[in-house]
Amino acid sequence: MASLGVDSEQKPLLGDRTPGSREWDIIETEEHCKSRWRSIRILYLTMFLSSVGFSIVIMSIWPYLQKIDQTADASFLGWVIASYSLGQMVASPIFGLWSNYRPRKEPLIVSIFISVAANCLYAYVHVPASHNKYYMLAARGLVGFGAASADEVQVPQGNIDQVAVVATNVLFFVILFIFALFETIVTPLTMDMYAWTREQAVLYDGIILAALGVEAVIIFMGIKLLSKKIGERALLLGGLIIIWVGFFVLLPWGNQFPKIQWEDLHNNTIPNTTFGEIIITLWKSPRENHSEEPTGCPVEQAWCLYTPMIHLAQFLISAVLIGIGYPSCNVMSYTLYSKILGPNPQGVYMGWLTASGSAARILGPVFISQVYTAWGPRWAFSLVCGMVVLTITLLGVVYRRLIAFSVRHGRIQE
């Protein structure tokens, strides 16, 4: 009986729906439908709670990192955020293989235990006397390891357009890459540009991201209607264009510069500046109570002295546009990918999609933190705009191939 339960757990919900099999032409029963939707609703709740926890942590990582370890800079922040996805990418195939041979509840319980332990470690990374930033790095990596999905891995069938599959993975990678770098840079950017304290950055950025979450819900509701009228591919293209406009708006313009953290000038580490520029900067910087937390753009970032500030209105408009484009692209890429695969078992292919998303969340934070720290927002967001243009070009090249499996094989008309 135990082996029977394990076997039933490892079977696809609707049986072996391969061409020529008995289940191929069988309509889903009411019992199967109820079971499937019960599982889907549990997944909805799980993903909601996971996303809430992730959003709370992501906004406070930078102030928390600065507080526990003064040697940590914005470039190290990128590695801390990337470690989550690195742990997830490493653990996903392990848990997937585990669930192939054992009941799915086993890797699920283990992953939950690891997540709880890792979050406890994250809560106490301030306790050690030194190297606190490395403890945070390890904690976030373990949180990602515990968050890995234990998806069932099955051998997919043939007759799938591999070019469309690869192209969709690349598109999904870029979409996740862009949003990962945006959510990574929000807190350092607002602290540098608007001289917000750590507490203000956590509060205000949290409010902004919460508003973007509400905006995303509205977008998700509207996408269902729009996709029936103009199609998934057109919505994906439109979302990428809106994202490009959002990052273009975010480019710094004008002749107003951010406030400099002039209190830290005593270390004489101002690169590429003349004595006259230092005096002018000090003269223009308002003097504050030295007992307060220093705010503004750190002078160690040389671009702070010559790069115009990004106005708050610019930032908010950009956030709204990215908040429209990202959910549209995210949902459409998932939808297109599933339709391209068709009725075949999708475990392996979905594993590839998950891996590409995890890789994007690893590289995105590292990329933006390194470029932003060294060259500033003008170079960072210009490179993102160029990347989006290349992605739009790729979508244009494979546009006609991104069609449903049933359409490709003539079962239904597009």
pLDDT, one tens digit per residue, over 130-174 is 888 999 999 988 888 887 654 444 444 558 888 898 999 999 999
pLDDT mean across residues, the chain: 79
Q: What is the pLDDT of residue 64?
A: 87
Question: Whole-angstrom Cα distance, residue 263 to residue 297?
Answer: 11
242: tokens are 């809106």
Instruction: Say whether pLDDT at 393 is over 90.
Output: yes
Lowest-pLDDT range of 11-15, 316-320, 363-367: 11-15
- Across the strands, what pairs with 260? 297
What one-character DSSP code corresponds to residue 297?
A: B
Q: What is the pLDDT of residue 414?
A: 53
Residue range 175-202: mean pLDDT, rounded: 91
Q: What is the pLDDT of residue 292?
A: 67
pLDDT class for 105, splitting at 50, 70, 90?
confident
Radius of gyration from C-alpha coordinates of the chain: 24
Q: What is the pLDDT of residue 270?
A: 42
Q: What is the pLDDT of residue 286?
A: 44
The sign of the dihedral angle between the CA atoms of 74, 78, 79, 80 is positive
Q: What is the pLDDT of residue 244?
A: 97
Q: What is the pLDDT of residue 344?
A: 65
Residue range 169-189: mean pLDDT, rounded: 92
pLDDT class for 1, splitting at 50, 70, 90?
very low
Q: What is the pLDDT of residue 108?
A: 77
What is the percent of the chain where pLDDT is above 90? 29
Map tokens 């967001």 to a residue. 381
Question: Whole-angstrom Cα distance, residue 224 to residue 8?
Answer: 34
pLDDT class for 28, splitting at 50, 70, 90?
low
Map tokens 């994202």 to a residue. 243
Backbone angles phi, psi at 260, to 5 degrees: -95, 145
Collapsing DSSP states into helix, strand and coil, what is residue 106? helix
Question: Whole-angstrom Cα distance, residue 356 to residue 346?
Answer: 15
Instruction: Say whether pLDDT at 311 is over 80.
Output: yes
Q: What is the pLDDT of residue 77?
A: 83
Question: Whole-angstrom Cα distance, residue 265 to residue 272?
Answer: 14
Lowest-pLDDT range of 59-68, 85-94, 281-290, 312-321: 281-290
User: Which of 210, 162, 215 has its CA nearest to residue 186?
Assistant: 210
Residue range 218-244: mean pLDDT, rounded: 91
Q: What is the pLDDT of residue 23?
A: 44
Question: Whole-angstrom Cα distance, residue 219 to residue 226?
Answer: 10
Phi-psi region of 146 (alpha: psi -120 to 50; beta: other; left: phi over 0): alpha
Question: Whole-angstrom Cα distance, residue 305 to residue 309?
Answer: 10
User: Which of 322, 312, 302 has its CA nearest to residue 195?
Assistant: 312
As a whole number of Å, the end-to-end CA separation of the chain is: 46
Question: Whole-angstrom Cα distance, residue 282 to residue 357?
Answer: 44
Q: Identify the residue with better confidence: 146 or 9.
A: 146
Instruction: Say whether pLDDT at 320 is over 90.
Output: yes
Class of residue 273 by CB neighbours under 10 A (exposed 0-12, middle 13-18, buried 19+): middle
Q: What is the pLDDT of residue 251?
A: 94
Q: Identify the residue with better confidence: 243 or 41.
A: 243
pTM for this entry: 0.69
CA 41 from chain centre, in angstroms, equals 23
Collapsing DSSP states into helix, strand and coil, what is residue 160? coil
The sign of the dihedral angle between the CA atoms of 413, 411, 392, 316 is positive
Question: Whole-angstrom Cα distance, residue 176 to residue 364?
Answer: 8
Instruction: Say whether pLDDT at 6 is over 50.
Output: no
Q: What is the pLDDT of residue 26?
A: 47
Q: Are 402 and 333 in contact (CB under 8 A)?
A: no
pLDDT class for 176, splitting at 50, 70, 90?
very high
For 257-289, the pLDDT digits (tens) are: 998 886 544 444 444 444 444 444 444 444 444
194: tokens are 């608007």
Instruction: Say whether pLDDT at 230 is over 70.
Output: yes
Instruction: Say whether pLDDT at 27 is over 60.
Output: no
Most confident of 32-41, 284-293, 352-361: 352-361
Question: Whole-angstrom Cα distance, residue 367 to residue 193?
Answer: 20
